[in-house]
């Protein structure tokens, strides 16, 4: 009973945000309703990926995790590993566009169809591969810049902007990388996806190495906020750098393996289709 109360206490909003609860709860509702309405069944694996991704983002934004992230750099980096990488990764992996669309009322879906021509221009910019990659890398590098990080940690509105921006700026990148379709339906071929993943791994490794190998405290703001655990500031910073370096690079590697597997599967299907066509053409 005590453990259940402790878990419930942890999951309740630490700093109540109507925006976060409406956005996360609304997305979960739309997906649940849309998955039932959609003509094609949404696989269980995709549903699990979507709900786990949303749950992790909720935990990072609303629970006591957010409190502890304001008092230790390495906990903050774990929080941003979820918001920057794991959460958007899982949401994109679930390919939720169809389910979310069918979750909307029919009248609203009709209006969105009418607005589609006007939305193509902004969507083309946001989902441009190089724009999405720049947003992904920029959202990482900007908020770990010591001066920017200092002001983000002592300003409520800038802190909120920081946390939301890493989710919203990274979703387009993971959406492009994990799109289950192949070209020409998808914007990118699997080879280009692997190339982009290699490109984003380089700054992750560089930033992680700079922080992980540094012997100087670059984030004195945590002394001002007060550390909840008696850990040396440089050690705290080095652990945070390793979180950027190793888990971040590992997730990019997993995404590259997914792209490689899909490329191999597409090649096999193409070869089989070509073989069947050749055998049918040779029949008398």
Torsion angle, alpha carbons of 92, 83, 168, 113, to 10: 30
7 belongs to a structural domain? no
Q: What distance in Å separates the CA atoms of residue 72 and residue 67, rounded to the nearest whole number?
A: 9
Q: Is pLDDT at 169 greater than 70 in this prediction? A: yes
169 belongs to a structural domain? yes
Q: What distance in Å separates the CA atoms of residue 62 and residue 64, rounded to the nearest whole number?
A: 7
Q: Is pLDDT at 90 greater than 60 in this prediction? A: yes
Taking only the tens place, the pLDDT of each residue in 48-79 is: 999 999 999 999 999 999 999 999 999 999 99
Identify the weakest region by mean pLDDT among 81-95, 177-191, 233-247: 177-191
Res 163: pLDDT: 94
Taking only the tens place, the pLDDT of each residue in 93-143 is: 999 999 999 998 888 888 888 878 887 888 889 999 999 999 999 999 999
Categorize the per-residue pLDDT at 14 as very low, low, confident or very high, splitting at 50, 70 and 90. Answer: low
Res 122: pLDDT: 86
Domain enclosing residue 116, as ranges = 15-278
Burial of 230 (0-12, 13-18, 19+ CB in 10 A): exposed
Q: Rg for the chain (alpha carbons), in Å?
A: 22
4 belongs to a structural domain? no
The pTM score is 0.89
5 belongs to a structural domain? no
Tally of structural domains, the chain: 1
Res 280: pLDDT: 52
Res 200: pLDDT: 95
133 belongs to a structural domain? yes
193 belongs to a structural domain? yes
Res 284: pLDDT: 46
CB atoms near residue 24 (< 10 Å): 17
255 belongs to a structural domain? yes
Q: What distance in Å separates the CA atoms of residue 27 and residue 10, rounded to the nearest whole number?
A: 22
Res 274: pLDDT: 60
- The answer to whether the CB of 75 falls within 8 A of the CB of 68 is yes
Torsion angle, alpha carbons of 241, 73, 2, 20, to 10: -100
1 belongs to a structural domain? no
The helix or strand, by DSSP H or E, that contains position 147, with its residue range, turns out to be helix 146-154
Identify which has the larger pLDDT, 67 or 13: 67
Res 186: pLDDT: 87
Q: Is pLDDT at 153 greater than 70 in this prediction? A: yes
Cis, peptide link before residue 139, omega less than 30° from 0: no
Identify the weakest region by mean pLDDT among 42-51, 177-186, 246-255, 271-280: 271-280
Q: What distance in Å separates the CA atoms of residue 17 and residue 23, rounded to the nearest whole number?
A: 10
Identify which has the larger pLDDT, 280 or 129: 129
- The answer to whether the CB of 133 falls within 8 A of the CB of 196 is yes
- The answer to whether the CB of 243 falls within 8 A of the CB of 77 is yes
Give percent of the chain above pLDDT 70: 90
Res 235: pLDDT: 95
Mean of the per-residue pLDDT values for the chain?
88
Q: Is pLDDT at 283 greater than 50 in this prediction? A: no
């Amino acid at each position: 009973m005590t453990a259940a109360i402790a878990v419930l206490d942890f999951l309740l909003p630490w700093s109540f945000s109507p925006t976060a609860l409406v956005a996360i709860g609304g997305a979960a509702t739309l997906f649940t309703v849309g998955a039932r309405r959609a003509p094609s069944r949404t696989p269980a694996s995709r549903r699990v990926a979507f709900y786990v991704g949303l749950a992790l983002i909720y935990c990072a934004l609303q629970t006591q995790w957010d409190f502890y992230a304001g008092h230790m750099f390495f906990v903050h980096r774990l929080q941003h590993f979820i918001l920057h990488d794991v959460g958007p990764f899982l949401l994109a992996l679930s390919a939720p566009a169809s389910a979310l669309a069918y979750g909307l009322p029919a009248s609203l879906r009709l209006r969105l169809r009418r607005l589609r021509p006007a939305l193509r221009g902004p969507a083309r910019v946001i989902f441009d591969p190089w724009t999405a990659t720049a947003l992904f890398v920029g959202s990482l590098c900007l908020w770990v810049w010591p001066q920017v990080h200092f002001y983000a940690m002592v300003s409520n509105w800038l802190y909120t902007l920081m946390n939301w921006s890493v989710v919203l700026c990274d979703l387009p990148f993971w959406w492009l990388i994990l799109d289950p379709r192949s070209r020409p339906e998808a914007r990118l071929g699997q080879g280009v996806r692997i190339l982009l993943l290699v490109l984003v791994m380089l700054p992750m490794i560089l930033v992680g190495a700079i922080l992980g190998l540094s012997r100087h405290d670059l984030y004195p703001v945590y002394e001002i906020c007060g550390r909840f655990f008696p850990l040396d500031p440089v050690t705290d910073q080095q652990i945070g750098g390793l979180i950027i370096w190793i888990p971040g690079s590992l997730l990019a590697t997993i995404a590259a393996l997914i792209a490689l597997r899909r490329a191999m599967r597409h090649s096999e299907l193409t070869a089989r289709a070509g073989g069947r066509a050749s055998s049918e053409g040779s029949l008398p």
